[in-house]
Structure 1
């Protein structure tokens, strides 16, 4: 059995599953179940996966192994990326969401004015008909893309714990 690979996958699934109860306990607004299948949130499943992989490789090959070196470098890149580029993308997604909703509300106001002043109905105008705020909710921008440093640290700790538990179970 490839224990490092199995451990990394277990870390991903476990981390995704515990996001809901953690969000439920610490989020003032409550928790949404879709956090289990989305990216972002506490703890970082990306960080948990690479940390558990690195830890399992250390157990299997020793700290001085080239496998550990490769996994560590890629792990650092993944964690840095989740806090940097992906986090900024998520923040930009929130801004785009706000702007899009505002724009659609303005368009709906124009449509209502158009409908009240014109004999042509709203449904007969395909250009105006394509901008509907109810349809927007189906193409919602992902808001949880990246991680805060605390979420990455939580993922590191979770990944390490998962690797230790998997080692005890499978060895």
Structure 2
């Protein structure tokens, strides 16, 4: 019974220490900060352009810069800074970043353009057509290559600054 109790306490202690380590997880924190900065930039630039607050820009996809790109490149760069750029963990994170960024300016960009064309077709349908009253499709899904590159640069800079802060504190 004593061994079981000690084992249970060790498991609980291990679980508590691992749950608190998420707060000090540099790659995760870098990705979150990069995402937050990118979405904030979109929120404020949409206010600047349209002179109105659009809360959907805080969480929505599309626009400048790509928050998807910022997030995955910050993650990959932070993994590289923390664990080294020659390891398999960095290779995995970098591959994930490349897939996400390719999807952002490839598949999702073209899906958004197709939604734009379909919305125009539905808009021009006669009122009696069954699809005339259908809800418009979301058009702002993907990113231009420039938006993806700027997002990627934002992610790298975020991770690099975070790395410098972590090094100076340690």
Equivalent of residue 152 in structure 1, options 148, 152, 162: 148
Residue 147 of structure 1, CA deviation: 0.6
Aligned length: 143
Contact 2:65 2:150 in 1 (8 A): yes
Contact 2:76 2:90 in 1 (8 A): yes
Equivalent of residue 166 in structure 1, options 143, 159, 162: 162
Contact 1:39 1:146 in 2 (8 A): yes
SS of the residue corresponding to residue 138 of structure 2 reads coil
Contact 2:70 2:156 in 1 (8 A): yes
Equivalent of residue 35 in structure 2, options 12, 20, 39: 12
Q: Which runs of 5+ in 1 are unaligned?
A: 111-127
CA distance in 2, matches of 1:149, 1:131: 33
Normalized against structure 2, the TM-score is what?
0.74
Contact 1:20 1:36 in 2 (8 A): yes
Give the direction of change, closer, same or farther, for the CA distance of 1:154–1:89 in structure 2 (3 Å limit).
same
Residue 32 of structure 1, CA deviation: 6.2
Give the direction of change, closer, same or farther, for the CA distance of 1:5–1:143 in structure 2 (3 Å limit).
same
Contact 1:23 1:42 in 2 (8 A): no
Contact 1:20 1:31 in 2 (8 A): no
CA distance in 1, matches of 2:53, 2:61: 13
Equivalent of residue 44 in structure 1, options 55, 66, 71: 66
Contact 1:90 1:143 in 2 (8 A): yes
Contact 2:123 2:132 in 1 (8 A): no
CA distance in 1, matches of 2:105, 2:161: 27
Q: Which runs of 5+ in 2 are unaligned?
A: 1-23
1:1-171 alignment to 2 at 5 Å? 1-24=24-47, 27=49, 33=54, 34-103=56-125, 106-107=126-127, 110=128, 133=133, 136=134, 139-170=135-166, 171=169
RMSD between superposed Cα atoms in Å: 2.2
Normalized against structure 1, the TM-score is what?
0.74
